[in-house]
Amino acid sequence: MSTAVSKPGGSAPPQAGEPGPARRGPGLLTRLRRSFATHWYAWAMVLPVVVVLAVLVGYPLGRGLYLSFTDADEANIGRVIGDFHVPATYRFVGLDNYWNILSGKEGSFYPRLGWTVVWTASCVLLHYSIGLGLAMLLNRPMRGRSLYRVLLILPWAVPAFVAAFAWKLMYNTQNGVINAVLAKVGVGAVDWLGDPFVQKLSVIAVNTWLGVPFMMVAILGGLQAIPRELHEAAEMDGASPWQRFRNVTLPGLRPVSGTVVLLGTIWTFNMFPIIYLVIGQAGGTKSEILVTYAYRLAFQGVRDYAGSASYGIVILSLLLVFSVFHRRMLSRQEGSL
C-alpha cells in the first residue's frame, strides 16, 4: 500500500473520493469567440437584423427615454434652418414629467387610461369570443369550407388605414350606407361620429371587424392540434357537447389562447389608426386613447415632445407589466395541470 506524502510547505494531493479544486470556466469573451468561430454563419445572418432593430427600434426608444427626462418642446428643441443652426436649450428635469402624469397633475392621464382599458378589454373579448365561434364552425366538415375561410380572412388582409377610411365613409351621417339602410327599415339616422358614446361603440365595431380573422385563424390551428381521440373518449364516457367543450377544447386551446390574447392586448392597446382616422378631430378628447393623446402632444398645438415621450414610456411600462403578469399566470396554470 502506498501512502501519499506531501512536500513541506505544499498542499496534500486529494485523496480518493475527495473533490479536487474547482476549475473556473472560460470567461464571457472566450465563450463569445468560440461561439463566433463555430457559428459564424448564423452570426452573419443575424447581424443585419440586429443593426436594423438597433436603428429603427433601439435609437428611437433611447432618444424618447432621454427626452422624457427633459422639458423639450418645439421652442427649445433646436433646429437647422438653411445655413443657420438654432441650438437646443431644453434642460434636464428628472422625473417631473412622470410625476405630472402619474400624480394626476396633468388631469388627463387617468380618464384616458380608463377608456383605453375598456377599449382594449372590449375588443379583445369580442375578438376572442367571435373568433372562437367561427373557428369551431370552420373546424367541422361542411360544403364550401375553404371559401368561407377565405372570405372571413379578407378583413385581416385589408390595411388598417384603408379599413378606417372605408368605415368612416359608411358612418357618414348624411351619405353613409349604414344610415341609408337604417332609413330603409324606418329607423332614423344615427350620428355615429358625433356623440361620444356612439363614437366609442363605432370604433369598437371597426376594430372587432379587423381583429376577428387573426383570432379565428390562430384558434383554428389550435383546434386542429387537439387530438381527436380525446373528444371521442369523452363522447364514449357520456360527456355532453358543453362538457367536451369545457373539459377538452378549452384546456387544449390554453397555449394558443394565452399567446393570442397577449398579442391582441398589445396591438389593441396601441391601435392608433382606428381611433385617429375613424374619429379624427370630431371626437375632441373624449374618445382618445393613450397613444393618440401622445401623438397629439407631439405633433399638435405646442408640440410637447418631452410629455409625449413620457407618455410613450409609461405606455411601454404598462404593457411590460401586463405581459409579465400574464405569462406568470399562464405558467402557474400550466404547472397546476
Burial class (CB in 10 A: 0-12, 13-18, 19+), 279: buried
Residue 283 has a pLDDT of: 54
pLDDT < 50 regions, the chain: 1-7, 9-10
pLDDT of residue 6: 47
Cell numbers standing for residue 93: 428635469
Per-residue confidence (pLDDT) for residue 209, from 0 to 100: 93
In a domain, 327, yes or no: no
pLDDT at 2: 46
Chain centroid to CA 111: how far?
Answer: 21
* Phi and psi at residue 285, to the nearest 5°: -115, 0
Q: Answer yes or no: are the C-beta atoms of 287 and 199 closer than 8 Å.
A: yes
Residue 314 lies in a domain: no
Between CA 47 and CA 39 the distance in angstroms is 12
Q: What's the CATH number where 277 sits?
A: 1.10.3720.10
Structural domain includes residue 121: yes
Prediction pTM value: 0.80
Residue 71 lies in a domain: no
**Rg of the chain over CA atoms, in angstroms?**
29
Total number of domains constituting the chain: 1
Indicate whether 81 belongs to any domain.
no
- pLDDT, tens only, 49-84: 989 988 998 999 999 999 999 989 888 887 777 777
pLDDT digits (tens, 9 = 90+) for 94-112: 999 999 998 877 778 898 9
pLDDT computed for residue 319 by the predictor: 94
pLDDT value of residue 314 = 94
What pLDDT is recorded for position 251? 87
Domain that holds residue 249: 108-303
Q: Looking at residue 284, what is its pLDDT?
A: 59
What's residue 14's pLDDT? 53
pLDDT of 142: 79
**Does residue 140 lie within any of the structural domains?**
yes
Q: pLDDT exceeding 70 applies to what percent of the chain?
A: 89
Q: Who contacts 164 (Cβ-Cβ below 8 Å, separation ≥6)?
A: 206, 273, 274, 277, 278
Residue 212 covered by a domain: yes
Q: What is the pLDDT of residue 47?
A: 87
**3-state helix/strand/coil string of the chain:** CCCCCCCCCCCCCCCCCCCCCCCCCCCHHHHHHHHHHHCHHHHHHHHHHHHHHHHHHHHHHHHHHHHCCECCCCCCCCEEECCEEECCCCCECCCHHHHHHHCCCCCCHHHHHHHHHHHHHHHHHHHHHHHHHHHHHHCCCCCCHHHHHHHHHHHHHCCHHHHHHHHHHHCCCCCCHHHHHHHHCCCCCCCCCCCHHHHHHHHHHHHHHHHHHHHHHHHHHHHHHCCHHHHHHHHHCCCCHHHHHHHHHHHHCHHHHHHHHHHHHHHHHCCHHHHHHHHCCCCCCCCCCHHHHHHHHHHCCCCCHHHHHHHHHHHHHHHHHHHHHHHHHHHHHHHHC
Inside any domain, residue 179: yes
Residues 243 and 161: beta-carbon distance below 8 Å? no
